[in-house]
């Protein structure tokens, strides 16, 4: 019974805070790493939630599966965050922006794939412009990519292209406004930090941990690189 109680306390902290750190919850952390019985109970609980516990150094993370409808993001969640009147296409555009940002930060090919410590939002906007322009100018190649990856790149490109250019502000009809809305969602989840002047973004320790120790294993890196490489070649 004590193992169940402790495992439940650990799960609650991870669900509320997204992680459990030794510095803030030393007793729970030490109980987890020293008691196999607690690990077994917690494993059973998270398995029922379609998630898993990932330990990286002195931090425990709760990682939902990609299909998780309880702990993971749903299209409705993203649309609600962006605004009540946004379309499904806006949610897919937001996903693509996140993928581009992560690729810009972690697209290296060496043992440490992180390529930079910060990004300017103007640089992100220019990268989005380049990629969407390639899609729009090479529809045949774009269609091949859509069939291979079951992703509507043309729709994403058109949705980005119709937004106003370098106008600043928070409106979703502008490129900068849409970018900022997506960045604020990532900041709320503890994955990015936006500078005070809202011109730059930096990754957090949490995002570095998850990307470098979980999401970017060899198979995932190879697949991500292949998708972005093939999309880039659409201009050739």
Confidence of residue 18 (pLDDT cuts 50, 70, 90): confident
pTM for the model: 0.76
Q: Look over the chain and give the mean of its residue pLDDT values, rounded to a whole number.
A: 83
Whole-number Å distance between alpha carbons of 217 and 106: 12
pLDDT in tens, 27-47: 999 999 999 999 999 999 988
Q: Average pLDDT, stretch 161-187?
A: 81
> In the β-sheet with 51-56, what is the strand arrangement from edge to edge?
19-21, 59-64, 51-56
Q: What is the pLDDT of residues 100-128, one digit of tens each?
A: 998 899 877 666 788 899 999 999 999 99
What local confidence, expressed as pLDDT, does residue 110 receive?
A: 62
pLDDT for 131-153, tens place per residue?
999 999 988 888 888 887 777 88
66 confidence band (pLDDT: 50, 70, 90) = low
CA distances from 60 to 6, 14, 129, 213 (A): 14, 8, 38, 12
Distances (CA, A) of 96 to 43, 74, 124, 193, 209: 32, 15, 12, 19, 21
Question: What local confidence, expressed as pLDDT, does residue 126 receive?
Answer: 93
Given a cut of 50, is residue 70 above it in pLDDT? no
């Amino acid at each position: 019974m004590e193992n169940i109680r402790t495992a439940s306390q650990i799960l609650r902290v991870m669900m509320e805070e997204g992680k459990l750190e030794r510095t803030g919850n030393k007793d729970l952390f030490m109980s987890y790493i020293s008691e196999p019985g607690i690990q077994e109970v917690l494993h059973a609980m998270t398995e029922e939630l379609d998630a898993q516990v990932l330990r990286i150094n002195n931090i425990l993370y709760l990682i939902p599966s990609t299909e998780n409808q309880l702990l993971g993001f749903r299209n409705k969640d993203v649309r609600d965050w962006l605004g009540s009147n946004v379309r499904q296409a806006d949610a897919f555009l937001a996903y693509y922006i996140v993928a581009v940002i992560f690729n810009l930060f972690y697209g290296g090919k060496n043992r440490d794939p992180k390529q930079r410590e910060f990004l300017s939002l103007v640089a992100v906007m220019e990268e989005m412009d380049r990629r969407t322009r390639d899609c729009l100018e090479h529809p045949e190649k774009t269609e091949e990519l859509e069939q291979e990856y079951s992703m509507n790149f043309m729709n994403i490109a058109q949705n980005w292209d119709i937004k106003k250019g370098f106008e600043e502000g928070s409106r979703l009809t502008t490129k900068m406004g849409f970018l900022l809305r997506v960045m604020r969602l990532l900041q709320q989840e503890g994955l990015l930090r936006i500078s005070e002047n809202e011109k730059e973004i930096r990754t957090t320790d949490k995002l570095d941990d998850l990307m470098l120790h979980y999401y970017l294993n060899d198979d995932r890196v190879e697949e991500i690189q292949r998708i972005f490489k093939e999309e880039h070649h659409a201009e050739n």
